[in-house]
Chain A
Amino acid sequence: MKTLEYITLPWDVLGLGALWLILMAFFVALPCSQMGSFLILRRMALTGDAISHSVFPGVVIAFFITGDLASPWLIVGAGLAGLASTVIIELIHKWTRVKQDAATGISFTALFALGVVLMELLLGKNVDLDLECVLHGRLGLLLEEDRVLLFGSLVPMPVLVMAGVAVFTMLLLGLFFRVMMLSSFDADLAASYGYRPAVIHYGMMFVVSFIVVAAFQAVGAILVIALLILPGAAAYLCTYRLKVMLAIAALHALISAVGGLYLHVWFNSNMAASVVVCGGVLFLLAWLLGPVDGVVWKWFKDEPPALEESSDKVGNR
């Protein structure tokens, strides 16, 4: 095959479907990338992991009752399961000497295991929600989903739903950007302004759970964490500005969506995993070549900026 054929291949094979796949992957990755950036800044990256695992039993039970993967009750179920995991973590580490990290580990593995067992027991061999879906997501099945007519073209339903989620998240971010930045940077000062740290914390956790549930069907329970962390982490290595960081994270989401589609078509591999792998490669690039923290620059420059900074800090402590 010629180079050009590699580039046009997805469009030749999927036609307009390629666009829908890219859009879907982007709309899933975009809200994740924005909230995930804040998770990284708040050092809560693994909370995202815990949430994505622990909402699972809630989704299973809600799906068992409603029988519909698009039902809003799934969000309610997921929210309750997420709440349960928070309560379990608190119960363990407030009442005993088991520390927070182990308590988190106990809580989310238990809930995830419960989810898998419930799924096997309640749903049996269900076509919509099975172990494959938990691992791989249903992104690859997008083109087989129901479609609605919009502006003269048939748009797959999930794309519209995810677009709504993405727009909602961006709106929230636009409204509360300042509040989230201040409380992430200096929680004490934020509290002295009368912002309630607990309200902000749980509000953000709620939004993250909401996004995780929405993204869950597309990419599965475990790959969500990648979409949450990778864009923000890559962007963090590229800039010193929060707004720029968020923009780069969004760009990362877009490139992973496009690149993921190509990997998917070239290698005939699972689409969701391909998006994540592409995001991983981008992160690797940022790690090596990122303008701020790139390892390569540190090696080649006479006076690497980051090293200067760290030695300065040591001197001050």
Chain B
Amino acid sequence: MFEDVSFLASMIDLLIPGSGSGKAIMAAVLLGASCGLLGCFVVLRRVALMGDAVSHAVLPGVVAGLIYSAERSPGVIFLFAAAAGLLGACLVRLMMFSTRLKSDAALGIVLATFFAFGIMWQSRNQQDTVGVMNFLFGNIGSIDASDLRMMLVTTLILVVTMFFLRRPLLMMSFDEGFSRGLGYPVKILNGVFYFLLTFSVVVALQAVGVVLVSAMLITPAAAAYLLTDRFERMLILSVVFGVASGISGGLVSAEVNGLPTGPVIALSATLLFGIIYLLAPRHGVLSKVARTLRRGMRVRRENTLKAIYQIHEGEGFAHEEVSVLMLARKRGQTEEKVNKDCKALLSRGFIEMAEDGVSLHLSRLGWKRAMEIVRNHRLWELYLTNEADYAEDHVHEDAEKIEHILEPGIVRQLEQHLDFPELDPHGKPIPQPAHLVTQSSVVPS
């Protein structure tokens, strides 16, 4: 039995790098892995502030460990810290259970009181201020082989537990009531979750520090959440981001004298998040802005096409051509703007310009699209007045918006619902682009 343990221990020792920077990178990897994994659950379960409370609550444990272990054995410190964190988490639950206090107050009380207790205790034992500072704001350079061994073991326990419990934990994060219905031991799982959460905080302690551990729990996981909809991928990405910010933060703080590691790691995680926030393909802000802009341009094009159609309709489809000037008057806009719109339509083949450059006519494609839009508009108006009892003078505004987003499926449903109508509520004919065979056939006889 003892041989097994010592064999395991020597295996672990093999994993620990000798050089200082090697140790720092190893620490960053462990930090990223443990916080990244747990962080995903923290973000999905919306308990980000629980992470903050637990991380502050470990401080008295750290102080106790520093005081009561003469040779500052990392095992003792980790043990005390984990115990304090768990006690904090239990107290939060107990407080919410037994009083009218809401979760935010309970979290704040535990966070602040535990932290203050730690500070008070530490200030009484002034001799070890530097040691405590390392735990408060992190110092990746101070991590030695025995610390690393501890971190490694803790991370391994965490990863293995997570691997076996990932399904029930995910279920529970998604819908606690439902998973209770499925017969999962929700209470035990919750306990396990807070146990693991405390472990991940403890692993990150020396590198990031008590004050900013919650950045490592939240920020990389939130960044991963913006990149993927799949949970497994989110786990992997979150770990990658955690490791990356751990390494870069560690490197930068080593370069600049006296800079504590924790804040730098937190800032690099935030920077990563910022980049992903802007550039993420689907959930990023830039892609959302681009989508909105593109939609706006499409709506503009479609409105121009509709205006052209309405001009033709107003003339009883007597003329082939429409002049830019007429279009500008119809749209109530300047000629330059309309010219620009026309260029956009031209490049997409919706219209053809006459050689004089002042008049244009719809192409086959243009006719089809214009009629679709006008039909959407009028069908929707008809639907609102006939089926939804809207007053006739209230439907135009809504139809102006809806005409651009009606999908073919819904249009078919509308037609069936309204029994293939021919006139809109204002008495105008609803065009039938499906019957568009030749260009002449669109002209109602």
Contact = CB atoms under 8 A, between A and B. Distances in A.
A227 to B, nearest CB: 8
Interface stretch (A40-48, A148-156, A164-172): A40-48
Given A109-B266, A113-B267, A277 B46 contact: no
A116 interface: yes
B285 A270 contact: no
Contacts of A135: 119, 136
Contacts, number: 205
B109 interface: yes
Interface residues of A, number: 63
A237 B101 CA distance: 8
Contact of B285 (A49, A95, A263): A95
Contact of A114 (B120, B123, B267): B267
The SS class assigned to the A binding surface is helix
Contacts of A124: 258
A232 B102 CA distance: 12
B167 interface: no
Contacts of B52: 49, 105
B112 A223 contact: yes
Interface in B197-247: 211-212, 214-215, 217-219, 221-222, 225-226
A269 B226 contact: no
B108 A49 contact: yes
A273 B117 contact: yes
Given A97-B283, A120-B258, A280-B116, 16 more contacts: A40-B102, A45-B107, A92-B222, A97-B226, A99-B43, A105-B217, A110-B270, A113-B212, A131-B137, A229-B108, A230-B109, A233-B109, A236-B105, A269-B120, A273-B117, A279-B113
7 contacts: A103-B222, A106-B219, A113-B212, A113-B263, A116-B137, A117-B263, A222-B211
Interface of A: 40, 43-46, 48-49, 91-92, 95-99, 101-106, 109-110, 112-117, 120-121, 124, 131, 135-136, 222-223, 225-226, 228-230, 232-233, 236-237, 263, 267-270, 272-274, 276-277, 279-280, 283, 287, 293, 295, 298, 306
Interface of B: 42-43, 46-49, 51-52, 56, 95, 98-102, 104-105, 107-109, 111-113, 115-117, 119-121, 123-124, 133, 136-137, 211-212, 214-215, 217-219, 221-222, 225-226, 256, 258-260, 262-264, 266-267, 270, 273, 277, 283-285, 288
